[in-house]
Structure 1
Amino acid sequence: MSCNDDVLCELDEQEVDQLLIILEECLPNSIVIYNWILKHREWNPKIQTLNFKILSPASMKIKTGCAAVCVCQGVSDKQYGVIFATEENNDLLKQCLTETKLIPWEKFSHFTGVLESHAKIMESVLQIKGFKTSEDEISQSFLLHIPIEEALRRPAPQIPDGYYLKPVNLLHISEATDIWDDYKQTVEKMFELNLSVAAFRKADVGVKDDLVAMNVQAEYGGVSALQVAPEHQRKGFGTCVLTELTRKMAQIRIHPHAHVLRDNFKSLGLFEKCGYRVVQKSFWIFVRK
């Protein structure tokens, strides 16, 4: 553990393993940071520019539970991260976020999937540091989760004749309709390195098959980029790709989770149909002056 006189210390690999054991005991509430750490460990040897740190208060301050902050750079121009603390360590988390010099706030883009129990902490810290905390900077979602064993019991999706399922690749990025311009570098890595499932319609010989629906595992380890072409909506293709990606994640012992915007009732219904249940509210908090 390297502290350099800071309130937060960077964990070494063995300490990260110990943290993961504690986080696993806190599932599903800890699923965002748990999957985030596993995904960035997986990405680390594949992306030369990747630099991510797992930070935690000095161990002697933690009597029970845990508190942790993860930050990453090298995937895009901006940095991003996640936070988590067990309930008894919420005050300690706030203190560390306020006092640490290890987080380059001016270079930060956002914090992913901040739990409702931590959103007020982050909002307070950002106010102290002079950042905006309006509704434009705080996007509310619902955190959803399905246990691995339940996901494994779900039957394989039935795809209609003339269609087939396969992963997406970098050639399909241009067909994704809602990629943020400042998020494109991260999305490219998602398409290149992560699990994905897409539905395609077979075309005539010599004509490219149509991409009908897609679903990709995000950089934070959860289900993301669920999209169905407008002319193919309400035909079961969203259910097909979500079910299959969820099964693929569960088969390699990844805990499936997702964030769905609070007013996206269609997607909430789809996830619940596929066995997901709401854990609690979650927030995407953007760091802006």
Structure 2
Amino acid sequence: MGTRLEVIGLKDIQQFQQLYKQNWPKYCQEYYCLDNFVSFLKKQPHMRNIQMYTLDTKQARDEGLFVIVDRYQLFVGCLTNTNGLVRSALELLDWSTGLKCSSIPSRHIDALDGLVESKRLELVFRDYTNLYFMKAEDALKLKVEPPDGFVLRPLSVADAPLVNDEWPNHHVGSLFFIERQIRLCVSVGLYQEDTQELVAWCIRLQGGYLGALQVKALHKRRGFGSVVTREIAYRLAAEGHDVMALVGPLNKPSSEMFSKLGFQVIDQCLWLRTEPTRGEFTWPEGE
């Protein structure tokens, strides 16, 4: 078993990504998470505050084990969870500032829970989401024309403050995150043609799934959420990507929408945030 974390880079995660093509779509979470970080690092080779690790063993590399800490968010992947690799890697991480463990595939949940228990970490939250999945060939059929009086186009960074303010998960430091995702990932906004008001939107988040799906309050119940979801799914599929979305099981409107569009639930993912262990820590704005 590895005794230390080993820093990895772009070439490593490109090699790991290929391992996750097998038994598709079993490992689609890991594949598309790495797909995004590969894209990020190609566009911005010296991105700040992203650390990527594996363990210092051949077995870890053979299993494609990766741990990515993106500012305060943690992503983890491994082909199996029967050999303790994930748990070993998590034990070696620095948890002092608290981490938001994001979209953790179901097969790694026991390793994460065991880590939390062994380190006696206090939790801010622990929530499950259902992983909705659609093949690219099906998503290509979702192309939609905007409603009369509206236009569909990618978001701009100028839209970020509104998107962040309306996002139920916004927090200190999240504006930087939203701006970055708009710059680096596929996004779609629905704009009123005459006023150019942004009324609905969706962004591909760094884990590879659709997120920050929102419709402004005055425009709800008009099917706009479905419109932007269909459009962003189509745009991802046009680039050759299958499409994923994470939805809380209690979010009935979104669950019904994705099911109606033809998405299938193929897994559950865990979201878990730990409290800092060395006093309060707030991620600085602009980083």
TM-score interval, smaller chain: 0.7 to 0.9
Structure-1 residue corresponding to 2:24: 27
Picking from 183, 187, 191, the partner of 1:192 is: 183
Q: For each residue in 1:152-192, what CA deviation from the matched residue of structure 2 results, as whole angstroms up to 9, or x when unmatched?
A: 2x142132221111111122123221251232221111122
Paired residue for 1:79, among 72, 78, 90?
Answer: 72
**Residue 84 of structure 2: SS of its match in structure 1?**
helix
Contact 1:145–1:258 at 8 Å: present in 2 too?
Answer: yes
Cα 1:84–1:90 change in 2 (3 A) is farther
Matches within 5 A, 1:98-177: 98=91, 100=92, 103-133=93-123, 136-152=124-140, 154-176=141-163, 177=166
**TM-score (structure 2 length as normaliser):** 0.84
Q: Secondary structure at the match of 1:97?
A: helix
> What's the counterpart of residue 89 of structure 1?
82
| Alpha-carbon shift at residue 12 of structure 1 (Å) | 5.0
State the distance in 2 between where 1:236 and 1:242 align.
Answer: 10
Residue aligned with 1:25, SS: coil
1:17-74 Cα distance to aligned partner (Å, 9 max, x none): 33212111143332222222221222224374435344334454359x725232234x
Question: What letter matches 2:65 in structure 1?
Answer: A
What is the match of residue 225 of structure 1? 212
SS in 2 for 1:214: strand
Distance 2:226 2:149 in 1: 17
**In the superposition, relative to structure 1, how do residues 249 and 90 fare at CA in structure 2: closer, same or farther (>3 Å)?**
farther
Show the counterpart of 1:61: 59
Q: For residues 10 and 188 of structure 2, what CA distance do their matches in structure 1 show? A: 32
Contact 1:164 / 1:199 at 8 angstroms: preserved in 2? Answer: yes
> Residue type of the partner of 1:50?
R
1:219 is aligned with what amino acid? Answer: Q
Asked if the contact 1:163–1:202 (Cα under 8 Å) also holds between the matched residues in 2, the reply is yes
Distance 1:218 1:236, change over 3 A: same
Distance between the aligned counterparts of 2:25 and 2:204, measured in 1?
18
Partner of residue 6 from structure 1, selected from 3, 8, 12: 3
Question: How many residues align structurally?
Answer: 271
Identity %: 18
CA 1:24–1:54 in 2, change beyond 3 Å: closer, same or farther?
Answer: farther
2:282 corresponds to 1:282: no
| Unaligned segments of structure 1, at least 5 residues | none
Helix, strand or coil: the match of 2:214?
strand
Query: What is the CA-CA distance between 1:216 and the residue it aligns to?
Result: 0.9
CA distance in 2, matches of 1:56, 1:89: 17
1:249 to 226, 236, 248: 236
**Larger deviation, residues 182-191 vs 243-252:** 182-191
Question: Residues 79 and 108 of structure 1 are in contact (CA less than 8 Å); yes or no, is this contact kept in structure 2?
Answer: yes
Moved segments of 4+, more than 6 Å: none
TM, length-normalised to structure 1: 0.83
Using the TM superposition, give the Cα deviation of residue 104 of structure 1 relative to its aligned residue in structure 2, in angstroms: 2.1
Which residue of 2 is the match for residue 52 of structure 1? 50
What CA distance in whole angstroms lies between the structure 2 residues aligned with 1:280 and 1:43? 26
Instruction: Report the Cα offset of residue 261 of structure 1.
Output: 1.3
